[in-house]
Chains A and B, each alone.
Chain A
Amino acid sequence: MEFKDYYKIMEVARDATQDEIKRSYRKLARKYHPDVSKEADAEARFKELGEAYEVLKDAEKRVAYDQLGASHKGGQEFRPPPDWNTGFEFSGGSPSGGDGAGYSDFFSSLFGQNFQGGGAGRASPHAKGEDHHAKVLIDLEDTFQGATRAITLRVPAVDAHGHVVTKDRILNVAIPKGIRAGQHIRLSGQGSPGAGEGKAGDLYLEIEFRPHPLYRVDGRDLYLDLPVSPWEAALGATVKVPTLGGIVELKIPEGSVSGRKMRLKGRGITGNPPGDCYVILSIALPPADTEAAKDLYRKMEQELDFNPRIKLGVPK
């Protein structure tokens, strides 16, 4: 088991006052709250922080922890000394903290199991089972065509010998057509089993899209950068555009400039109404890698009276 340096986690000195600890906790809690923070490890950090605060805010636990602390460093292998805990009596109080999230083994070995869990005991003998929440990553194509995805969930279970083990549970989930990022799929009865005759809880899966090589997503709408040649933009042309539903033809009006936004109505994510696909033109220059190509550029230079910087007020 690893020794946890609660002072380091709390970003305070070992002799910090209770007020300093409280201030630091509040600041860090706002920073790492999983609903607020975008950092990948926010949930783990927030949990760790809650655990550290549980110990340091409580004068009894803090004194007990300090006794150990002097000879240990964060991350070191740790085993509680045999005389640990003598002379201390911890007066209850359930930990504040995330969704019944358990504290670390380190915490449990020092302060016991009875601090865990927040004490949300089941009131009724036939209570509904707990709901479960998870995130799933799908491809943009999955929402367009609909797809069945095997989703692996890790669930704790008790084995034949009474040990708690992690079990992989695989669910084949039909991704509904037209689902968008941030929406949730509800799977009725796929949460924890209920008590007695209580109904099982539900499973909620939050949808997130994997970044797509071509399209960017805003709600139901898609954005695509479309390279066009200078003559297609200047003279107008009909060009082929890839969409989720296949290739479509788009008419580029003559005199188009880079950045021009055009809309392919109804070519976004399926729905009622369906989203649109916005095409943003970007003019691609042919490379001047042959004598013939260079000659063409030279000819344009000679024959076109063109100053691309005219709006900047500088002469050619």
Chain B
Amino acid sequence: MNTENSSPQFSICILEEQTQLTLADLCGACAVHDQQIIELVDAGVLEPQGREPACWIFAGASLHRARKALRLQRDLDIGLAGAALALDLMDEIESLRTRLRAVGGEY
């Protein structure tokens, strides 16, 4: 097996804290057309700042939220509202699990 070593000469950032994304960035990263992202915004899955799509600014955390919403819709054949609900419930489960672990419970 070949091995290739490269030193850190590329820019590194924490996506959730140091990154803001435009509609075009988000479309590129999710490999979808504008319309699908606009639908996610209309469903309340993503909450950009700015009035119109052309000036929307998304928080870095939107990237993985959008990808997850798109995957759920595609893979499980569920509608937008269903995917939005699933995402909210999954977030809640995740925060409950974290809480439970913090107080010393299993999970």
Residues on A lying within 8 angstroms of B by beta carbon are: 26, 29-30, 33, 35-36, 46, 50, 96-99, 120, 128, 131, 148, 157, 165-174, 176, 178-179, 182-190, 202, 204, 206, 216-219, 221, 223, 225
Contact = CB atoms under 8 A, between A and B. Distances in A.
A170 B99 contact: no
B103 interface: yes
A169 B64 CA distance: 24
B4 A168 contact: yes
A96 B2 contact: no
A211 to B, nearest CB: 9
Contacts of B64: 184, 204, 206
A187 B23 CA distance: 20
B6 to A, nearest CB: 6
B98 A173 contact: no
B50 interface: no
A166 B4 CA distance: 12
Contact of B74 (A96, A128, A172, A182): A96
24 contacts: A26-B76, A33-B72, A33-B75, A33-B76, A36-B86, A96-B75, A98-B71, A99-B71, A167-B3, A168-B1, A168-B2, A168-B4, A169-B3, A172-B5, A173-B8, A183-B15, A184-B16, A185-B12, A186-B19, A216-B102, A217-B101, A218-B99, A223-B103, A223-B104
Given A29-B76, A168-B3, A223-B103, A183 B13 contact: no
Interface string B1-31: 1111111101111111101000000001101
B2 A165 contact: yes
A216 B101 contact: yes
B6 A172 contact: yes
Contacts of A157: 2
Contacts of B103: 216, 223
Contacts of B11: 187-188
Which 4 pairs of residues, A with B, have the shortest CB-CB distance?
Answer: A218-B102, A184-B15, A183-B16, A186-B15
A213 to B, nearest CB: 13
Contacts of A179: 14
Interface of B: 1-8, 10-17, 19, 28-29, 31, 60, 63-64, 68, 71-72, 74-77, 86, 90, 94, 98-99, 101-104
A170 B6 contact: yes
Given A26-B76, A172-B8, A225-B104, A167 B14 contact: no
Q: Which of B3, B10, B60 has the most CB of A within 10 A?
A: B10
A219 B101 CA distance: 11
A221 B68 CA distance: 26
A99 B64 CA distance: 14
A33 B6 CA distance: 34
B107 to A, nearest CB: 9
Nearest to B2: A167
Nearest to B102: A218
Nearest to B29: A131
Contacts of B71: 33, 35, 98-99
Contacts of A216: 101-104
A130 B10 CA distance: 17
B75 A98 contact: yes
A171 B12 CA distance: 12
Given A168-B1, A168-B4, A218-B102, A176 B12 contact: yes
A185 B18 CA distance: 10
